[in-house]
Amino acid sequence: AITIYVAQDNGERVELEAPLDMNLSVMEVLKANEFPVQAVCGGMAICATCHVEVLENGQGELPDMGDDEAYMLESLPHATESSRLSCQLRVNPDLDGLVVRIMPEA
Ligand code: FES
């Protein structure tokens, strides 16, 4: 398993364990840990309700953004340079140590 951190508004970081052998997305890990991620579209990159800001990369690079994800993020007024759709981040060793902040919905 790898460790993913969720930054809270109070500055604390909640540590989550994400198994490597279940082909989960970061969105699914957040949901499984009862974070308020609606993920209305179920991971299709068309709802943006799984929007996160990546505060720190993990061990390796993040995966490149697909066209769908980039297009969705462009439409969000509060997206930042570090915004990603968490449903498009597959849990893998590169993400070990990733720090994200859950962003407001679209
Ligand atoms: Fe809908 Fe990620 S779950 S865009």
Q: Which atom of ligand 1 is nearest to the CA of 86?
A: 2
Residue pLDDT, tens place only, 3-55:
999 999 999 999 999 999 999 999 999 999 999 999 999 999 999 999 999 99
Could you tell me the distance, in angstroms and rounded to a whole number, from the CA of residue 50 to the centre of ligand 1? 5
Q: Which of 49, 73, 90 to mutate to test the pocket of ligand 1 (most atoms within 8 A of CB)?
A: 49
* Full domain range(s) for residue 87: 2-102
Q: How many domains does the chain have?
A: 1
Contact between 19 and 91 under an 8 Å Cβ cutoff? The reply is: yes
Which domain CATH number covers 53? 3.10.20.30
Q: Which atom of ligand 1 is nearest to the CA of 48?
A: 4
| ipTM for this prediction | 0.99
71-77 — which CB contacts under 8 Å span 24+ positions? 72/45, 72/46, 72/47, 72/48, 73/48, 75/48, 75/106, 76/48, 76/51, 76/106
Q: Is the pTM of this model over 0.90?
A: yes
